Amino acid sequence: MSPALLKWYDHNKRDLPWRKSNLFYPVYVSEVMLQQTQVKTVIPFYTKWFIRFPSIESVAVSNIDELLKLWEGLGYYSRCVNFHKSCKILFNKYDSQLPENEADFLKLPGVGNYISSAVYSIVKNLPLTAIDANIKRIMCRVLKIKYLTPYNNKRINNAVEKFIDKDRPGDFNQALMDLGSSICTPIKTDCYICPISSLCKAMKTSSPLQYPFKKPKRIKPLKRLAAAIIFNKDKFFIVKRPLNTMLGGLWELPTIELNTYISPNDQLFKYIKMTYNITVSINRKITTIKHSYSHFDILINLYKCNLQDNNLISSEFASWIKPDDIKRYAFSKSNHKLFNKLNLNAWNI
């Protein structure tokens, strides 16, 4: 596999900004951003990120709010939080260098087998297999594997270990990635221009798209939420999500998941009073948005609330801001959808 694949890669590899060098930091940043995210989505975020944070040290000494604001819109925000923690450790303990021992790198927050193998194969030229969903799909077709059982996953890993180029392991891993993005994709195969088609058992069946078997998509559950926009003169109230939760570190309007059997108004009133020591009256529902995550959908009803009594002590987790301040804080896409509906700058509510 290796000679044909690398010859194809040398002539067809994607021109990606993180491939300008094999230095540790750009490779590491890109691998973190590329987790569960398409290349075309990552490129503009990576470019902006590298201008603002060009080194491990620049990340380590920065505030997490700065990082999350630049990450805003890329999703899976725990990646950013973990990357910040890891950069602090790398800066303080390893002089901002890739640890010599892979086991030490694997101990860092957010670093799993895939990221570690990808980084060490590209940066240190170690023959480590970086197997993700793309490479699993290619190898399922090469080996004619229909079901991704634990046994078959082991077969795939053994095969890639056998095929990997010992002199250019990083290029080998990236070549398989590029092959999976252009020729051997989930929805089409261009077998007649594929550099490894002679090895592919699925091609000989004339129906390579049957491999691997695609599970039927599950119907995602719908969560119903209520959010409050609470005004105090020319400002409105926002809160910061705890770092150890989904969307941790992002700001949002006060939001609660609704209990079907209790009035939304009552639930929202009690939640705001008990959590933030603010007394409000629920004025009216002013808009509704729907947003989709990987495992569930949400429906948010936004309520305009009148401030009755404010005993809140301001902190790093709660703030009153003006509409123009939105650009200074990192919010989730769902909250930006609410802001767009409200047209806060025109007070169109």
Residue that the structure tokens 């989730």 belong to: 332
Question: 318 and 312 in contact (C-beta within 8 Å)?
Answer: yes
Q: How far is CA 242 from CA 78, 217, 248, in A?
A: 11, 31, 5
User: 3-state DSSP call for residue 299?
Assistant: strand
For residue 254 the two structure tokens come to 């006060």
CA–CA dist 203, 27 (Å, integer): 33
User: 3-state DSSP call for residue 190?
Assistant: coil
Residues annotated as catalytic (active site), given as ranges: 31
Question: Beta strands 278-292 and 235-240: pairing type?
Answer: unpaired
168-186 burial string, b = 16+ CB within 10 Å, else e?
bbbbbbbbbbbbbeebbee
Taking 3-state DSSP, the helix, strand and coil percentages for the chain, each rounded to the nearest 5, stand at 50, 15, 35
CA–CA dist 34, 40 (Å, integer): 10
CA–CA dist 291, 147 (Å, integer): 32
Residue that the structure tokens 């030229």 belong to: 125
Listed in order, strand segments (DSSP E) in 166-221 are none
C-alpha count within 13 angstroms, C-beta hemisphere, residue 297: 10
CA–CA dist 115, 132 (Å, integer): 10
Question: 67 and 45 in contact (C-beta within 8 Å)?
Answer: no
C-alpha count within 13 angstroms, C-beta hemisphere, residue 43: 8
CA–CA dist 277, 279 (Å, integer): 7
C-alpha distance across the termini of the chain, in Å: 62
